[in-house]
Amino acid sequence: MELTKFSDYSLRMLLYLGLNPDRLVSLVEIADAYSISRNHLVKISKRLAQLDLVQATRGKGGGIQLAKPPAEINIGAVVRSTEGHSPLVECFDPGSNTCCIIKSCSLKGALKKAENAFYAELDQHTLQSLLKNRKGLSLAFAKD
């Protein structure tokens, strides 16, 4: 299973904001910190704001910050919300499935269990739990 860049960058943005809870952070700062496109982050910040995970302040001196404490941000819920509703494999979507072995294949069940286990693991984590190593994370962003 591979996360989309949208989900990956969403999680990175939340981590960065979690490391900087007492101030507004610009999208340019986050883009520079991770060496990723600011344009991606604009879309991501809008989506995270729709999910009530971040709040934005416009204008000079504006930026974004977490809209709730890191302990209240569940990683499984974030990934479900940012990944969209694309099925893991074609046969999970009866409307578009064209696989000829669907009626006799046991792979579908195994893949569904694996997908459920993936999300069950993510559901056990909050942003707060991912910020345990604040010092190490902060040092990773330090510019030489």
Mean pLDDT over the full length of the chain: 91
pLDDT band at 144 (very low <50, low <70, confident <90, very high): low
Question: In this predicted structure, which of 7-16, 29-38, 72-81, 103-112 has the lowest mean pLDDT?
Answer: 103-112
Spacing of C-alpha 121 from chain mean position: 14
Could you give the residue ranges of the DSSP H alpha helices within 1-144? Answer: 5-19, 27-34, 38-50, 75-83, 107-123, 127-130, 134-141
What Å distances lie between residue 99 and 2, 85, 93, 109, 116, CA to CA? 22, 19, 11, 15, 22
- 122 has a pLDDT exceeding 90: yes
**pLDDT at residue 101, as a whole number:** 78
φ, ψ (nearest 5 deg) of residue 118: -60, -50
- The overall longest dimension of the chain from CA atoms, in Å, is 61
Region 29-44: mean pLDDT is 95
Strand partners, 25: 64
Residue 66 near residue 54 (C-beta atoms within 8 A): yes
Inter-CA distances, 133 with 10, 115, 120, Å: 19, 28, 23
The predicted pLDDT at position 34 comes to 96
| 3 state DSSP class of 63 | strand
Higher pLDDT, 86 or 123: 123
State which residues form the domain around 121: 5-141
Provide the whole-model pTM: 0.88
Buried/exposed code over 96-110 (b: 16+ C-beta within 10 A; e: otherwise): eeeeeeeeeeeebee
110: domain CATH number? Answer: 1.10.10.10
Average pLDDT over residues 17-46: 95
Q: How many domains does the chain have?
A: 1
Both tokens assigned to 89: 């494999």
Convert the pLDDT of each residue in 65-115 to its tens digit: 999 999 999 999 999 999 977 777 767 777 888 877 788 888 888 888 998
**Mean pLDDT computed over 23-29:** 96
19-23, 38-42, 71-75, 87-91: range with lowest mean pLDDT: 87-91
